[in-house]
Structure 1
Amino acid sequence: MTERNEGVVGRQPGRRAQGELEAAVLTALRSASRPVTAAYVQERLGQGLAYTTVVTILTRLQAKGAVARQRAGRAFEWTAVADEAGLAALRMRRLLDAEADRETVLARFVTALLPDDEKLLRGLLAQQPEDAQG
């Protein structure tokens, strides 16, 4: 008899969903009152994460524009510049930037929204100054 993985298809038991660890790192950074080291983040996250894993996540978040770092002696100190919603927005923007036909992608995105989400999006767009709309 074989065991079945009752979790998410394609995910190993005990593994985090994509973006879950990034969100946890952002939460740890945002809860700090000052820039902090990767060791600080590792300690706050617990869960037996390797230091190198934390540094990798911080570096990926920096590449996405979600965190900033500054030299502090031989190490870096990290600061969140985006929250979880900002990180999701950065992901959406990166996906859009990868597409050749932006107009079609945006049109399909809007038509796939639930009515309340579409109404919310239209309201947010209406609030933007004319020069910001592009």
Structure 2
Amino acid sequence: MRDQERGRRRGQGELEAQVLAALREASEPASAAWVQEKLGGALAYTTVITILTRLLAKGAVTREKVGRSFVWTAAADEAGLAALRMRRVLDKESDREAVLASFVTGLSQQDEEMLRELLTRTREAEE
């Protein structure tokens, strides 16, 4: 590990995104050791297991028992992981309407239009 990498703190979710990206590149369910190696081997095996376990709790990965260990598969991409985080934040708040209203009023006009379009498409698909 280079000195500048060792001193740099990763942003929240950066390791999770890296682990998900590695799993998406796998041609089949992958072991934690494979993920560790794919990420360059700089992370401790226990750190990789911790990240995978957190992703499992978030529904971003699945795991299957093979022998005495597990193999892991990505169930969500980075956008899906971000959406899971957003839902968790929203679920923790008592006034969902206020949180959503604050979120929407902070959107750019382009993002607001995109959100309206996505909501319309979702409703049409449900009908």
Question: TM-score normalized by structure 1?
Answer: 0.86
Instruction: Report the counterpart of residue 13 of structure 1 in structure 2.
Output: 7
Which residue identity is paired with 2:99? V
Instruction: Report the counterpart of residue 57 of structure 2 in structure 1.
Output: 63
Q: Deviations over 1:45-99 (max 9, x none)?
A: 0151100000000000000000000000001000000000000000000000000
Q: Percent identity?
A: 66
* RMSD over equivalenced CA pairs, Å: 1.7
CA offset at residue 14 of structure 1?
1.8
Instruction: Report the counterpart of residue 120 of structure 2 in structure 1.
Output: 126
- Secondary structure at the counterpart of residue 119 of structure 2: helix
- Secondary structure at the counterpart of residue 129 of structure 1: helix
Q: Is 1:94 aligned to residue 94 of structure 2?
A: no
Instruction: Report the counterpart of residue 116 of structure 1 in structure 2.
Output: 110
Distance in 1 separating the partners of 2:125 and 2:28: 35
Instruction: Report the counterpart of residue 82 of structure 1 in structure 2.
Output: 76
Structure 1, unaligned runs of 5 or more: 1-11
Q: Is 1:37 aligned to residue 37 of structure 2?
A: no
Distance in 1 separating the partners of 2:93 and 2:11: 24
The count of aligned residue pairs is: 122
The change in CA–CA distance for 1:132 and 1:105 in structure 2 (over 3 A counts) is farther
Q: 2:44 aligns with which of 19, 43, 50?
A: 50
Moved over 6 A (4+): none
Which one has a larger percent helix, Structure 1 or Structure 2?
2
Q: Deviations over 1:94-118 (max 9, x none)?
A: 0000000101110111000011000
Distance in 2 separating the partners of 1:95 and 1:130: 27
Question: TM-score normalized by structure 2?
Answer: 0.91
Instruction: Report the counterpart of residue 3 of structure 2 in structure 1.
Output: none
